[in-house]
Structure 1
Amino acid sequence: MGAWLLLPAMLYYLAGTGWPRSSLLSDKGLVYGRLGHPVKIYVKLHQNSPILVCMDSHRASEETVDPTYLWIGPNEKMLTGNKQFNITETGTLIVKDFLELLSGLYTCTLSYKTIKAETQEETIEKKRYDFMVFVNPFAPGWRDACGGSVDCEDVTNQNILKARDRIEEFFRSQASISSHRFNKTVPAIHFVDHSFHVVRIDSCRPGFGKNEGLHSNCASCCVVCSPGTFSPDVDVTCQICISVHIYGAKSCP
């Protein structure tokens, strides 16, 4: 009686590769602020952020007199236009080549004048808009690997299933060749149909984790660990560490 070949399961890694689209993202790729509510945004590692607009969509549809814009970054320092932060005259912000340490709260204060029609009296109005910007670890090259799809997880799944089918076909063809070579007798090693399986391994790279409570609109994403948490390995969640004060920590001091 021939021996059976036990094929180990193929392990694969799918770490939150979706590209969640904000409900405030316009067709032109603009993300508007929202008074009293931080807008959460998820940026691919080493990619540019979407265009953050220092006003809400309602204000953008109205006339704004003599507007000025003040952007404050995660380090609570005023942002100035440079190679990393692209700030336009109309108050929009793009963060280029996004990294873990750039994650955090981006605040913009919009100041503008209102004029009373009866008295022509001018008043300065101020509105604050908060953007919570997080990075997830999908590295450069994802567009090529996923064929430009915005849902790369589906594409990755399809590629894994294709690989499984091809490996299964390889062993099946080898069994057929061996069977003919040995005059159709059962070879010492042969393949059993439907005995090959793939198993999904859900994990995140160090410094990243999933948090459905904090990121309910991106629950399947591996998002950079927030201050106060860390992840030293390929675990699914970030662990608590009160001495951590940065984003993306991989150890607890």
Structure 2
Amino acid sequence: MRAWVLLSAVLWYLTGAGWQRSSERTGKGLIYGKPGHPVKIYVKLHHSSPILACMDFKRAKKETVDPTYSWIGPNEKPLTENNQINITKTGKLKMEDFQEALSGLYTCTLSYKTVKAETQEETVVKQRYDFMIFVNPFAPGWKGACNDSADCEDITNHNILQARDRIEEFFRSQAYIYYHDFNKTIPAMHFVDHSFQVVRMDSCRPGFGKNEGLHSNCASCCVVCSPGTFSPDVDVTCQSCVSIRVYGAKSCT
């Protein structure tokens, strides 16, 4: 996430990372698998995931005979529906209120039949699709600042830039008033247009960090720390700790 520092006030800006912008995404909001390559997806903390299709884009355009779908979660156990996980009869997966513990590798196996035209012989084909899902969090305090708005980053961005413009206008007005209304009895005050600056500061909430190597397609994102790493403070990196087996660890225990 990104923070803009304006005088002594700190407001937060988050990259609008959602899911991977590639050929796997369609206009309907579906994310398709890619045979042989895991598809990386970034979901905002406590938001819904995109809909994951247990199929690749090419297969979706073809007739699929007697398809069956099997989803495996990060704990390597079959996924079952609950208040956070929704699996449709057509193999589509969506998760609600996404949290750190839901991060990880999601694998779907599609089974379907092919029929030879000459002999009518049936063959069962199986295709595996991997989806790596990571959390991209909101900044601390976003709920209070945005009143639970889903567009928190847009609101905070607008507010900080508006504050900058108003402070700039204040100094410009003060310079005019001192120079024109006080009969030059006090030293002149000058203001250089557009000289007021805001400074960006990068930080991540505990349990999150940035990794340009692992997340090159979301290099500016604060992403949940993977197993084997942790982040105890607002640093931008996840530190190594081989004993950790969960996502989003805040200490090496």
Could you state the TM-score of these two structures normalised by the residue count of structure 1? 0.83
Give percent identity, aligned residues only: 68
| Structure 2 counterparts to residues 1-253 of structure 1, below 5 A | 8=7, 12-23=11-22, 24-138=24-138, 141=148, 143-145=150-152, 152=154, 157=157, 159-174=159-174, 184-186=184-186, 192-193=191-192, 196-253=196-253
Question: 2: CA distance between counterparts of 1:16 and 1:76?
Answer: 31
Q: Could you say which residue in structure 1 is the equivalent of 2:3?
A: none
**Greater shift in the superposed pair: 85-94 or 192-201:** 192-201
* Alpha-carbon distance, 1:71 to partner: 0.3
Root-mean-square deviation (CA, aligned residues, Å) is 2.6
Paired with 2:71 and 2:106, the residues of 1 have a C-alpha distance of 7
Please state how far the C-alpha of 1:70 moved relative to its aligned partner: 0.5
Deviations 1:154-212 (A, max 9, x none): x755543321121232344456556778654337x977546643211111111111111
Deviations 1:90-133 (A, max 9, x none): 00000111001100000001111111222222211111000001
SS at match of 1:80: coil
Name the aligned partner's letter for residue 14 of structure 1: Y
Shift of 1:246: 0.6
Say whether the 8 Å CA contact 2:108–2:129 is kept in structure 1: yes
SS in 2 for 1:217: helix
Q: TM-score, normalised by structure 2?
A: 0.83
CA distance in 2: counterparts of 1:70 and 1:9, whole angstroms: 53
Aligned partners of 2:34 and 2:129 also within 8 Å: yes
**What is the distance in 2 between the residues matched to 1:117 and 1:142?**
56
SS at 2:55 equivalent? coil
Indicate if the aligned counterparts of 2:18 and 2:41 stay in contact, CA closer than 8 A: no
Q: What is the count of residue pairs matched by the alignment?
A: 239
Q: Is the 8 A contact 1:33 1:129 kept in 2?
A: yes
Of 116-125 and 173-182, more deviation after overlay is shown by 173-182
How far does residue 226 in structure 1 lie from its aligned partner after superposition? 0.6
Q: Is the 8 A contact 2:20 2:40 kept in 1?
A: no
Distance 1:113 1:18, change over 3 A: closer
Which fold has the larger relative contact order, with Cα–Cα distance below 8 Å and residues 6 or more apart in sequence? 1
Q: Could you list the runs of 5+ residues in structure 2 that have no partner in the other structure? A: 1-5
Partner amino acid, structure 1, of 2:121: E
Shift of 1:29: 0.2
Cα distance, 1:13 vs structure 2? 3.9
Tell me the distance in 2 between the aligned counterparts of 1:217 and 1:134: 12
Amino acid at match of 1:227: P
User: Quick one: which amino acid aligns to residue 232 of structure 2?
Assistant: P
Partner of 1:4: none
The whole-number CA distance in structure 2 between the counterparts of 1:9 and 1:108 is 49
Describe the SS at the equivalent of 1:108: strand
